[in-house]
Amino acid sequence: MPAALPIPHPTIALLGPQGPGPDVAAVLAELKIRGRVGLVRAGFQEREAEDGAMVASLGVPAVNLLLHARGVEVFRGDAEFTTAYQARQQRLRNMQALYRIRLEKTEEAEHAISVRYVDPELLAQEEKVAVDQFRYLDVDHIERCTAVRDAFEAKWTPGQRPLIARHRAELAAQLAECEALVIAGGHVASLMNRMTLFDVLALAAGKPIIAWSAGAMMLTDRVVLFHDYPPYGSDIAQVLDAGLGIAPGIVVLPDPKRRLKMDARAGIQRFARRMAPATCVAMDHGARVIFEQRKIVRALGTRLTTQGVVEMGWIGTPSRFSSPTLTRMKT
């Protein structure tokens, strides 16, 4: 029987937002990382290079990989690829908008049914139907987005484009001198697109990864956008895309104090059931989830349960986690 393949990233630490008192240095110290780290700030887009305060907060030497700037160079220097890439991104944006319309109509129907004066048992059955409909729409959206990305990769083979290949080689040389990869937050779509374009996870194989906020979201099975207090009215939680999948079995919800209605028990319950069997973890500053060999070994955060309970100060243990595979739900 052949030997098992090594885990590309044996240790992954997902953290809450880094505010005035960042805790990333403490996590690096706990993981015994003392040498240079590769830093990803692509989520900050044009402010990517403004890294002085962040590098200082790490407590170890760091090299900014400048993925956003590298992407700009690629898009300016490879017109054929850029045209195809932009067309793909527009298609994904259109798919997101249409998926959101379906989510909103499902939510409207669920609310209209929930206020009917009918048998409570029937209402409970109808709520389950609504949750299953949300789950179906989520998985269908992920499958379709994945198909678009896979087709693009197959046709355009980015790694074989000379400009992209040069940047990947430069990044490989930089990461070879780093002990770990540190991924900051920011705009999650930009961050994930640049990470994928330059295949950074593969280039950093074998190294620990420490990520927070959007960086943490991106590493899970699926990136879920949420905001109960948007500046423009109401909003509905939606899946942006499949994540990079190296931190499986959880849904990361950063900065919940500003984004989640923690006292809305019915909403919490419906959301947690929709995301099940994944564990929904709300992560404020100081929260963390540590993976070893793709399994959670310790965690501290706020868990949203399928009963609508918000477990503040929840401490996870390995036996309570699994790494489910996303499958299409039947309604």
pTM of the model: 0.90
- Identify the pLDDT of residue 234: 60
Amino acid at 285: H
pLDDT at 150: 96
CA distance 199 to 330: 34
Bridging pattern class, strands 279-283 and 250-254: parallel
Nearest to 46, CA basis, from 197, 184, 187: 187
Taking residues 245-266, report their average pLDDT: 90
pLDDT of residue 230: 67
Question: Is it the case that residue 5 has pLDDT exceeding 50?
Answer: no
Instruction: Report CA 110 to chain centroid distance, whole Å.
Output: 27
> Could you tell me which residue, 167 or 4, shows the higher pLDDT?
167
Query: By three-state DSSP, how is residue 268 classified?
Result: helix
How far is the CA of 276 from the CAs of 64, 118, 261, 316, 325, in angstroms? 36, 27, 19, 16, 11
pLDDT of residue 53: 94
Q: How many residues does the chain have?
A: 331
Characterize the bridge pairing of strands 37-40 and 62-64: parallel
Share of the chain above pLDDT 90, in %: 72
Tokens representing 236 are 């509905």
Query: E strands within 174-231?
Result: 180-183, 209-212, 222-225
pLDDT of residue 4: 44
Residue 327 predicted with pLDDT over 50: no
Provide the pLDDT for residue 316: 67
CA–CA distance, 269 with 274 (Å, rounded to integer): 8
Taking the C-alpha atoms of residue 262 and residue 268, their distance in angstroms, rounded to an integer, is: 7
Specify whether the CB–CB gap between 92 and 84 falls below 8 A: no
Tell me how far apart the alpha carbons of residues 269 and 169 are, in angstroms, rounded to a whole number. Answer: 47
pLDDT of residue 64: 98
8 neighbors 283 (Cβ within 8 angstroms) = no
In this prediction, residue 1 carries a pLDDT of: 31
- Mean pLDDT for 2-31 is 82
Question: Could you give the domains of the chain?
Answer: 11-86+159-320 (3.40.50.880)
228/56: higher pLDDT = 56
As a whole number, mean pLDDT of residues 57-62 equals 96
263 or 183, higher pLDDT: 183
Packed helices 79-114 and 67-77: angle between N→C axes, nearest 10 degrees: 120
Window from 93-102, 154-163, 251-260 with minimum mean pLDDT: 251-260
Does the pLDDT at position 48 exceed 70? yes
- Determine the Cα–Cα distance for residues 139 and 242; give it in Å rounded to an integer: 9
**Average pLDDT, whole number, for the chain?**
89
CA distance 280 to 256: 11
For the chain, percent of residues with pLDDT exceeding 70: 92
Query: Is pLDDT at 304 greater than 70 in this prediction?
Result: yes
pLDDT band at 331 (very low <50, low <70, confident <90, very high): very low
Between 293 and 145, name the one with better pLDDT.
Answer: 145
Give per-residue pLDDT as tens, 62-115.
Answer: 999 999 999 999 999 999 999 999 999 999 999 999 999 999 999 888 878 777
| Three-state DSSP state, 224 | strand
pLDDT, position 324: 39
Mean pLDDT in residue range 198-209 = 96
What are the angstrom distances between the C-alpha of 9 and each of 42, 177, 204, 246?
20, 16, 8, 8
Eight-class DSSP state of 329? P
Is residue 82 within 8 A of residue 65, CB to CB? The reply is: no
Torsion of CA 152, 158, 159, 162, to 10 degrees: 160
**pLDDT band at residue 321 using 50, 70 and 90 as cut-offs:** very low
Tell me which of 24-28, 181-185, 292-296 is least confident: 292-296
Per-residue model confidence (pLDDT) at position 231: 64
Would you state the pLDDT for residue 15? 96
